[in-house]
Amino acid sequence: MRALFIPCWHDGLPRDSGSAQIRAQWVCDLWEDADVWDLSGRLPGYDLYVFQKAYLIGQTRSWINTVAQWRDEGRCVMAFDLCDPDFLDLEHRRRMLEVLPLFDFAVGSTRPITDWLARWLPAYHIPDRVSLTTLEEVGRRAVYTDNDPPRVVWAGYEHNLGSLDAIRDEVEGLGVELDVLALAKPLPFVDFWGRVLDYDVLLNPRPDKPPFSYKSDNKTLIAWGLGLPVARTVDELLNLCDHHARTAEGVKRANEVAVSWGMRSSVLQWQEICRSWRGDVN
């Protein structure tokens, strides 16, 4: 079973986009018969085509139509993978709904995104997982400081700074050192996480409102895999002000991710879903 993932950077997003790494590159790294399309190979000849949040521009939409013709001839299965709530933007929603009927099924990174996709076509939930090999390249935290108060960082894209609004004043009132690493565009994965690991705690609040309520918590998962404690609430941060608690949390979560959140499980999910569809159409 050969699979081709067409990542979101074909739609003009940066090549360092986290979603392209997590939803396409890391999957293909562990799937022997899967490729990320970089235009160097041939488009025909695959059993499964996955358009990873790629649907906006003319060239991408042309590829969607071409693959849909092959699918109608019984040559392949095609899937749409979505990891962000693009449909909250009216123009993105319009353009997405124009092409969704061409796909056999969709895959969402979170339950709310999967539920939205299921309104239009069969949809499956494949959560974000991590490349354990890539985490090893960054380097798991080996030493936990006894800084009191701890050095805390919020890190992410500028347009997500709103997630801090509800708790920022309360966090600063604790007397902790809070730095904000707000990015206009993504950094290479190893560079970004190398900077975040300079801190004792990652602050990653999860507001229960759009767009944040749709988003994957992959940042927490990656931080845990690197041995970095994460506070999503003020209460969690209060607990992590104790360096013994930080050490215990860091070690516990890193082991949890290594055992339960490796990308191999995503590969197996993709293969199972594709086999079921090929059985339906062949």
Identify the band that residue 109 occupies on the pLDDT scale cut at 50, 70 and 90: very high
pLDDT digits (tens, 9 = 90+) for 150-180: 999 999 999 999 999 989 889 988 888 899 9
Helix axes 218-225, 243-260, angle to 10 degrees: 100
Q: Would you give the DSSP letter of residue 158? A: G
Could you tell me the domains of the chain?
3-129+263-281 (3.40.50), 132-260 (3.40.50)
**3-state DSSP assignment of residue 66:** helix
State pTM to two decimals.
0.93
Two structure tokens written together for 258: 């290594």
pLDDT number for residue 56: 96
With b for 16 or more beta-carbon neighbours within 10 A and e for fewer, the 154-184 pattern comes to bbbeeebeebbeebbeebeeeebebeeeeee
Two structure tokens written together for 140: 């798991």
